[in-house]
Structure 1
Amino acid sequence: MKTPKTLFLAWQDPMSRYWFPIGRLTFDGRLYQFVYTQGVTEAEAKCAFQPLSSFPYLDEVYTSTQLFPVFANRLMSRSRPDYSSFMEWLNIPNDEHDPMTILARSGGERETDTLAVFPCPEVNTQGQYHLYFFSHGLRHLPSCAIERINQFESGNKLWLAHEFQNPYDAQALILTTEDHYIVGYCPRYLLAEMFDLLQQNLNLEVQVERVNKAPTPLQFRLLCKMSVDASKDYRPFSSRHYQPLMAEFARSHPCS
């Protein structure tokens, strides 16, 4: 399993529930570095975002030989009795202990704050980008939808559809089966990138990667894999919001 070199940090405004990409974590095999991205300026302007206590200055490059606590605290302890089960839910080998890999797959979300983590994918040998995510919103679905999910097999195809009449989020992207059965939602912090991909008419596919049946928590029930063909005109998460505030850092640390 290839270790991701870059993770993005997203912040959700508690009032509007809108997500903003605010930071970028990189690892070169020796040092971890964190910088705020330009998305933080929009979060400040629209939702009065305040710098995280771990990273109090927006214009600074934070460097450490150890994973920063704001990220390390999102990893399950290997001493917990359910650690092996957790790794199975993520579909990661139990002997894979790289924190960047685990955070990229799990999303690092906690009930105690409004942050999430997701990776910047790299093109593979087949000329594709892959992005893994867990289907969101399953607790709002009827029991028959959960039963349908439990019948999925790895490789089953899913479809993305814009639920523009959603009263809570007009940008919502639902995940459906071929016969239009709703089986969850795309994570909100990925919506901007997903809409960009759909508008570019690139060859995008979403498949079932793994189904974790009960008693697995619903937040880890349906693991999905998005695949998109690499294009010379497309680089994932390359819009302004994902670029570091510091131009010099951006030039020396491209996403892919």
Structure 2
Amino acid sequence: MTADRSLVVTWLDPNRRSIMPVARLVHRGGREGDLYEFRYIRGALEAAERGFQPFIAFPELDRVYRSRSLFPFFTNRVMPTTRPDYMEYVKVLGLDPTEADSIAILGRSGGRRETDRIEVVPMPMRDEAGGYTTHFLLRGVRYIPGAEERIARLAPGERLFWMLDAQNESNPGAVALRSADKCLLGYIPDYLVTDVATLVAREVPMNVFAERVNLPPAPLHHRVLCRLEARWPDGFVPFQGERFQPIDPSPAPVAQASRAL
């Protein structure tokens, strides 16, 4: 039996430009085959006060949706394997095209589309050595003068240095990344800053590396794939904030989508 894999669905508040978690997708593999479960989390209630509306495919906030195949809402966010540029696209994400499935690709690419404000991000997991390891795409490159030019000279595996940006007007918890020669490159994604703050508060050593550097024509948001490594503290649970907790389901039966269970 394979381990459960969880992705968090986030929504961008267009007014405050802040990223809010609104739902969770869980993939479970077992002897009876794949099972996918979608449910909203409490961040969706806060986001609703800022204009977020439930997705058409999942209209009720207090329902749990299950399917034996990946919901079309998510498959439509993964590049088809028939595309001629599929192999190169998956390599840009630092994945093996012969092994990567839709969940792995969604977790790395974010499943972003130009037509909405949705992004899918992976739930950090304890690695084989018992540590905290997660991958993310460097953010905010377009807003930093000189960042793109310095990124072009980054070497795969080069260490990046994190800095708390408490005076950031958009997010006082923001964490910036710079090179060894003190050139500001971008930011750690907002969805990770709570975990980072917890690790910092517990005085856990934390290292960030440029795992893969993708030169143009790769888009700016795919330019640098980063890897964050730290020790997994005792009792630590990633994405533990109130926003990430599930909404209490209604007493009605769970909704089922795609193929019948």
Sort the TM-score into its range (normalised by shorter chain).
0.7 to 0.9
Aligned to 1:177: 179
Query: How many percent of aligned residue pairs carry the same amino acid?
Result: 37
5 Å-filtered alignment, 1:68-83, equals 68-83=71-86
Aligned to 2:20: 20
Give the alignment's TM-score, normalised by structure 1: 0.88
Paired with 1:122 and 1:161, the residues of 2 have a C-alpha distance of 23
Paired with 1:188 and 1:239, the residues of 2 have a C-alpha distance of 13
- Pairing partner for 1:161 from 143, 160, 163: 163
Count of residues paired in the alignment: 245
Question: Does the residue aligned with 1:160 lie in a helix, a strand or coil?
Answer: strand
- Pairing partner for 2:45 from 41, 44, 54: 41
Aligned to 1:117: 120
Aligned to 1:232: 234
Paired with 1:48 and 1:122, the residues of 2 have a C-alpha distance of 31
The answer to whether the 8 Å contact 1:107/1:133 transfers is no
Q: Which runs of 5+ in 2 are unaligned?
A: 251-261
The answer to whether the 8 Å contact 1:4/1:101 transfers is no
Deviations 1:18-57 (A, max 9, x none): 2211111111121100011122222234x14221211111
The answer to whether the 8 Å contact 2:64/2:249 transfers is no
Paired with 1:48 and 1:199, the residues of 2 have a C-alpha distance of 33
5 Å-filtered alignment, 1:11-160, equals 11-29=11-29, 30-45=34-49, 47-142=50-145, 144-160=146-162
Cα distance, 1:178–1:102 mapped onto 2, change above 3 Å: same
Aligned to 1:252: none
- Pairing partner for 2:200 from 191, 198, 201: 198
- Which amino acid letter does the alignment assign opposite residue 177 of structure 1? S
Paired with 1:97 and 1:58, the residues of 2 have a C-alpha distance of 31
- Which amino acid letter does the alignment assign opposite residue 137 of structure 2? F
Task: Give the structure with the higher percent helix.
Answer: 1
Q: Which runs of 5+ in 1 are unaligned?
A: 249-256
- Which amino acid letter does the alignment assign opposite residue 243 of structure 1? Q
Deviations 1:87-108 (A, max 9, x none): 1110111112411111111111
Task: Give the structure with the higher percent strand.
Answer: 2
The answer to whether the 8 Å contact 1:7/1:24 transfers is yes
